[in-house]
Structure 1
Amino acid sequence: MRVRQVVMWAAAVMLLAGCLGDPEGVVFGGGDLDVGGDVASDSGSGDGGDNDGGEPDGGEPDGGEPDGGEPDVCVPGEAGCGPEHCANNQLDGDESDVDCGGSCPGCEAGEFCASVDDCATGEVLELRECERVDVEVCAPRGVGVYQVGELACESEDGEAARCVVRYSENEERRVEDDAACEIDTDEVVCGDERVEIGACLPGEGQACSTQGVRMVTTYQGQCAGGSCLEVVRASREESCTLASPPAPGDVCGAGQWSAWSDCVPESNRDSCAAGGVQERTRTVARCTSNGTCAPVSSEVDRETRACQRSPNPQLCSSTGADNSSFVCHQGQCCLPNCSDARLSCRAQVEDGCGGRCPRLTCSGVGQGCATDGQCRPFCGAATGSRTCESDAQCGQMCACPLGAAPRCEGQGCTCL
């Protein structure tokens, strides 16, 4: 019964210690669990008061981690990670300055110390200069030259000792392409200057002169994006003498183009064609003996272009001269056929050019339209003086109105 009470009491103490953040309040060992000032380790091998830091028997301390796992990040001041007074922003414990020295991390330069052990260890580097002697002019980073030193604990003028940097007189550290030596090299001049002289050309309004002008352009390298690029620094005009000046009679220019002409049929096509051509002209100019450029009225440049036209359907000619007797039909010049021989007694007929011809009408006394295209004398009554000898004699001599068939009778022709 007593053993059970002891076990329950020990469990309660363990939970209380965990809540209070005291990792050393309860330890585990291989022997009997006891409660009080000291806890025995395993098999009577305890030292009568010291604990084993919470480690499993026979193993190394594991910082509170399960065996075989990765350790957590250690934050000073937290349970199980260094003294708590090293992270409370106060000067307490064995510290030489706030949260540093003694059992805390080493102090930095300028912080108080009691001995050099209170100062941080390791090299101290201080940038002395940035060199660019052996660096490309457009490279943004140079070589950093650093002094090498270490912290010492020293006192000056009787004041409290502080951690100070003491640099070596003979030791330096060089860092290539050092970010601390980065500068803006854009637009920095680089490379050599280059001058380019252009061709000598006639000046404006001096097409027939022996003198001309040329461009002189100066280029200079300039850094951009870490590279040296050539840019134009200056540009100017200067006079020059033409190597081959124009001679009198040479073409030196031309006048302004005229306006485009009306759209006319193309050559060798009749006037009913929808496609046409337009033309414009300009006068050619030549150098004179006194060095001027003058137009020559007898010399004309011509330029043509295709165009679309709407031909007059009532006026056309395949010979190029418009004639009202012709009409445009299906893109060609057409002569309508309305001769009397093909006219009808009863209705209009097609003229062959997209139009129609009028009905045949007969003029004169006793004339009538007997058959399409024919006008004949009427045989309105039998004649007493004639004898109908044959159908041909009767049918060819007279006609009946509206084309009714004539018939020979005893004394002449009659219309049925």
Structure 2
Amino acid sequence: MKRLAAAVAGLLAVAATACSADTASSGGLGPATGEDDAGWPFAVEEVDRFDEPWAMAFLPDGDLLVTERTGELHLRDGGTGERVEVDGTPEVVDAGQGGLGDVLPGPTHADDAMVYLSWAEAGEGGVGAAVGRARLDTSGERPALVDLEVVWRQTPKVAGSGHFGHRLAFSPDGEHLFVSSGDRQLGEPAQDTSNTLGTIVRLTLDGAPAPGNPLADEGGTAAEVWSWGHRNPLGLEHAPDGTLWSSEMGPEGGDELNVVEPGANYGWPEVSNGSDYGGGEIPDHAEGDGFTAPARSWDPSISPGSLMIHSGEMFEDWRGDAFLGALSGEALVRVDLDGVEAGAAEVYELGQRIRAVEEGPDGAIWLLEDAGAGRLLRLTPA
């Protein structure tokens, strides 16, 4: 059944690509533009464009940081919309899925201007994700990252250019940094906690293993691990009630929305609600299999590239709901959350790959389209 669903998804993807080619080149929002989008509960405003955007984050003063996969970091003025490139970014491996990744203001940014970034870097053994922090200095002619230091590295570095993960999230109390770490398309290491491939790690703000982690007694790399058995978690966000959620790309089908629990094993590559590439079957999640099942999964794939959990008042009915940017699905997906339960999902077909979703200071929903369109969009109630 999973192979059949994947095959149907492939045919639909081909048809969608053919139908959306002209729309993409004209900068449209796909087939649901104009009169057809009258049923959307939001209005869409294009406010900027970027070349190969990957992530964005609002600063406490309302300005916006945007990363581009090729290594550029942009600072966009929240009032005027003017933007400037930030100096001092790290050297990145711009290949495949690698490059400059996530960006977040540190918990104490208002006092020390600290920002955290993730990227793919070269080193012994190949390539791996890295996380660093630096002070954002805006006193000169151009803003710059000052005193950039690496606080965490994905281990080990391996060949290839896929499944870095490297999404960042801070705990609600601002004491801990969570980093999602993809399996680097190797599968089996996700079940081996002596490395950090296929894991979510929990660190102090300076990158040390956080005290109280589930495998702290084992020491070494295992002491960093919060959960494991992940494939490619590209979304990481705390809900207003403090629950940590992640969105994760499955293989052919089996995309997941997970409640991230300490010491939990999410099963990859032993179980998945999707199929392996080329048609190989993987056992589905099943009660009693020893693995933690997703709160929700998708088959065919939507390819979730990001996750935001709404906490503002502009979309009051959506407060506490999850929003996923769908890449192959070319959509914004809303999931009704109730505590640790994931309920009904609503799909808004935008006709473009949505790379990132963020909430603005006023509660508006902001989207970044993937390379090829690259528009920065602001969604407000219709």
Higher RCO (CA < 8 A, seq sep 6+): 2
Scaled by the length of structure 1, the TM-score of the pair is: 0.13
Greater strand proportion = 2
The structure number with the bigger radius of gyration is: 1
